[in-house]
Structure 1
């Protein structure tokens, strides 16, 4: 699986945005300490943009910028043979075809290293008027990997958006059982209730999540 396969399986921008927001809300409930979360969502990343992000703590990450222009997805798998540190720059084709409307994302300091090099192995974008997601024309390395750009691992829960997929991931990561009905409730962007929050984490209440709800932009009703 490569970024090309991922692009064919991503949903429309509003659906992806809602899914990312819901995953961040689930993580806020499961992990009150922000630094231990994989998935985050900042509804006010800038005056005109929201951003979803993933960081696994081992060097892999993605960022998704949502704006009036559309959505820009950047992924980085640190062990990928397509790492910019292998070629001393982004792999040919990964960023070459990104349209001008997303150039600010390509050049965003938060997505680059201290020397200004974009930290990316996979890139997908979709302008507001597009009917599908797009990627660059890429000649992938042949060296024995079915996931050369890291897309399969990076974007797995964006491709399989089922409650069961999130439950499996969360139970493995947190080494605890995770209530499937509650996961399904939050992934449907339904308002948080005492029962749902308690099912996921009996040590907190909806009131404890007020700041997270505001930052994430999770719907209140």
Structure 2
């Protein structure tokens, strides 16, 4: 998930469990001190199970960065994080801003999209039933896309993005 403002979140699902890597560019936890190598803040991944090392230390996470990491192995009952001293700034590690979109509620996404893309929705409200279709895994068609955004014209980029995440489409 990329929010278009420099923040990203990647999730791996495996037989060993699930791991979420987040990068919030405005966070004090942003470890890019120079352009060549990122330093992950102390504690974020210190207790990360080895099953997730390839995900966290490999691409594309390595190139994106890490300001927070959350995981749950198949044996864990609860989600876990490392022992991290969070900065005192308001933005902290950025996890609350990125993770709230994962609550499974189409209304949460609708509200976020209307705020983020406010100029696109000034005259036309984003219809909740269209967002629900996406949440329910409806195959994306050009017609559905144009219902959501009548001004979209880069269908090749959309097709590439949908292929990248494995979302079924007929574009």
TM-score, normalised on structure 1? Answer: 0.59
Question: Would you say how many aligned residue pairs link Structure 1 and Structure 2?
Answer: 157
Q: Are residue 180 (structure 1) and residue 124 (structure 2) matched?
A: no
Q: 1:101 aligns with which of 51, 61, 84?
A: 51
Q: What's the CA shift for 1:163?
A: 1.6
Corresponding residue SS for 1:63: strand
1:129-184 residue CA offsets vs partner (Å, 9 max, x unmatched): 3322211112222x342x3111121222113x322221122223332231111111
Query: Structure with the greater relative contact order (CA < 8 A, sep ≥ 6): 1 or 2?
Result: 1
Whole-angstrom distance in 2 between the partners of 1:180 and 1:64: 25
- Which stretch of the first structure deviates more once superposed, 56-65 or 190-199? 190-199
Give yes or no for the alignment of 1:151 onto 2:95: yes
Compute the displacement of 1:219 (Å).
Answer: 5.7
Where does the alignment leave 5 or more consecutive residues of structure 2 unmatched? none
Structure 1: gaps spanning 5 or more residues? 1-53
- Normalised to the residue count of structure 2, the TM-score between the two structures is 0.73
Query: Residues 56 and 99 of structure 1: is their aligned pair in 2 closer, same or farther, counting only changes over 3 Å?
Result: same
Per the alignment, residue 46 of structure 1 pairs with: none
1:188 to partner: Cα distance: 2.1
Secondary structure of the structure 2 residue equivalent to 1:109: coil
What CA distance in whole angstroms lies between the structure 2 residues aligned with 1:216 and 1:210?
Answer: 10
Q: Does 1:137 align with 2:83?
A: yes
CA distance in 1, matches of 2:11, 2:162: 19
More helix by share: 1
The equivalent position to 2:108 in structure 1, one of 165, 174, 186, is 165
Counterpart of 1:73 in 2: which secondary structure? strand
User: Secondary structure of the residue that 1:154 maps to in structure 2?
Assistant: helix
Structure 1 residue matching 2:111: 3-state secondary structure: helix
2:41 is matched with 91
Question: Secondary structure of the residue that 1:96 maps to in structure 2?
Answer: coil
What is the CA distance between 1:126 and its match in structure 2? 1.5
